[in-house]
A and B are shown apart, each in its own frame.
Chain A
Amino acid sequence: MKKLFQVVLVGSICLLCFSCYYDEVLDIEVPIPDNISYQDDIQPLFNQSCVSCHNGNLPPDLRSADSYNSLLNGYVVPGNASQSILYKSLLNIDGISLMPPEGQWSATKINLVEAWIDGGALDN
């Protein structure tokens, strides 16, 4: 019993001590592709972080079959990201709740969505 306790103690100290770490998010500007494809660039972002709640029960429906139509129904102003509710929710501005609620997206993802909207919000 004593040996087991020692092993567990050393094991847990090793696990805990070597994983504590200090870092901050870097502003690495990942270049935005010239042609942003909705299906290949934007929809996967929704699939990762949004569809768990926005799955048809919570507007807008961001599942791949319905997301484009749902978004253009009041959440996106094509060509104008700063007026689009989708973009405002990613930045938590103008009183729009932060999306996703568990933590803001990286600047790269937000910029990609902004570029897509400003580029006309095409369904491509």
Chain B
Amino acid sequence: MTNYKPILLVFFMLPLMMVSQEQVKDSIIDKPERPAFESSTIINNPSNVLFSKNTLEVQMQHRFDEINGGTNDLAGFWGAANIRIAVSYAIHERLTIGYGTTKEGRLQDFNWKVGLLSQTRSNKIPISVAYYGNYTIDARTKDNFLLDQHRYSYFNQIIIAKRFSSKFSLQIAPSVSHYNLVEKYMTNDRFAIALGGRYKISAQTSIMFDYSQPITRFERDPLRPNTSFNIPGISLGAEFATSGHAFQIFLTNYRGIVPQQNYMKNINDFFFGDFLIGFNITRNYNF
């Protein structure tokens, strides 16, 4: 009984020696925000989305004929269509390279998308930034071109996107398109800016819109005084997405698929009825 005091002392001291509750909180590792969009294109412009490393994405993009294109052709279904099939591969978390081939103009495009900044959940980094570039070769027969360099065109775009909520995301994307050979009334370079977004109406369905505005103004072709080359592109549609697929169907006035074709050469005016139906299908394979 005489040596209970040291034991009692130890027992009374013990609570004071517990320090676990006073531990300083670990800094929370900021996680990147979920992707702003489900697929790598917003109708006519690329989105900022990059898939994880070793993902192969196959894209099939189709544009039917203009709905007001003259004859009765089932809203363009029976008319002349434009189509592009492309593959892209993520060789790195931040870098995806791709190749596509388009019917109108026999365009072969080599493209790459680089992820520069990624939005975080705590909003410490409020936006995602990506860069998209392509180099396109017009592969029509030799007698269409005086020099081989006349076949080349380039497109560079910075995509700034923000996922505002799980339902709503928006992106703004300035770009510059360059064609090596242009008509006299056009300049070789054209600056433009695009605004696109999506609003999710259910887990797999969203409404998408895409507005592209050329900034550099072109003059009129003296032989075609009623045709303007400064018409913006307006696209509106829906996207149905699952984990491996995304399917977008939309109305647009842009006939081309490779972006610089639309920015430089579009003559369709959405509000004059020159619009067409199109769809984009993408499928991801993970390796």
B interface footprint on A91-118 (CB within 8 Å = 1, 0 otherwise): 1110011101111100000000000000
Question: With an 8 A cutoff between CB atoms, is A58 at the interface?
Answer: yes
When A24-B183, A25-B183, A101-B255 are in contact, do A91 and B66 touch as well, CB less than 8 Å? no
Looking across the interface, which residue of chain A has its beta carbon closest to that of B223?
A: A91
B184 and A103 contact, CB distance less than 8 A? no
Q: State the majority secondary structure of interface residues on B.
A: loop
In chain A between 12 and 48, which residues have their CB closer than 8 angstroms to a CB of chain B?
16, 19-25, 27, 48
Closest-by-CB residue of B relative to A97 is B69
Tell me if A6 counts as interface (CB < 8 A to partner B).
Answer: no
Q: Are B184 and A25 in contact (CB under 8 A)?
A: yes
A93 touches B180 (CB 8 A): no
State whether A22 touches B188 (Cβ < 8 A): yes
Instruction: Kindly list chain A residues whose C-beta atoms are within 8 Å of the C-beta of B183.
Output: 24-25, 104
Q: Do the beta carbons of B149 and A93 come within 8 Å of each other?
A: no
- B65 CB to nearest chain A CB (Å): 9
Contact of B135 among A16, A24, A101 (CB under 8 A): A16
For B154, the chain A residues whose CB sits under 8 A away are: 16, 20
Query: Which of A21, A97, A101 meets B104, CB within 8 Å?
Result: A101
Whether, in the assembled complex, B218 has its beta carbon less than 8 Å from a beta carbon of chain A, the answer is no
At the interface, yes or no: B70 with Cβ under 8 Å from chain A? yes
Q: Does B211 contact A (CB under 8 A)?
A: no
A22's nearest neighbour on chain B, judged by CB, is B188
* B125 adjacent to chain A (CB < 8 Å): no
Interface of A is mostly: loop
| Complex alpha-carbon distance, A24 and B264, angstroms | 14
Q: Does B152 contact A (CB under 8 A)?
A: yes
Q: List 22 A-B contacts (CB under 8 A).
A: A19-B135, A19-B152, A20-B154, A20-B180, A21-B150, A21-B180, A21-B181, A22-B180, A23-B182, A23-B188, A24-B181, A24-B183, A24-B184, A27-B184, A48-B143, A52-B103, A91-B224, A92-B224, A93-B223, A97-B70, A101-B80, A102-B104
Within the complex, what minimum Cβ distance (angstroms) separates A14 from chain B?
Answer: 13
B227 at the interface (CB under 8 A from A): yes
Q: Does B20 contact A (CB under 8 A)?
A: no
User: B244 near A: Cβ within 8 Å?
Assistant: no
Nearest CB on B from A6, distance (A)? 16
Contact B149 A21 (CB under 8 A): yes
In the complex, which residues 55-69 of chain B have their Cβ closer than 8 Å to any Cβ of chain A? 66, 69
Q: Do B267 and A92 touch across chains, with their CB atoms under 8 A apart? A: yes
Known contacts A102-B104, A102-B105; decide if A20 and B178 are in contact (CB<8 Å). Answer: yes
Chain A residue with the shortest CB-CB distance to B137: A19
Interface string of A48-70 (1 = CB under 8 A from B): 10001100011100000000000
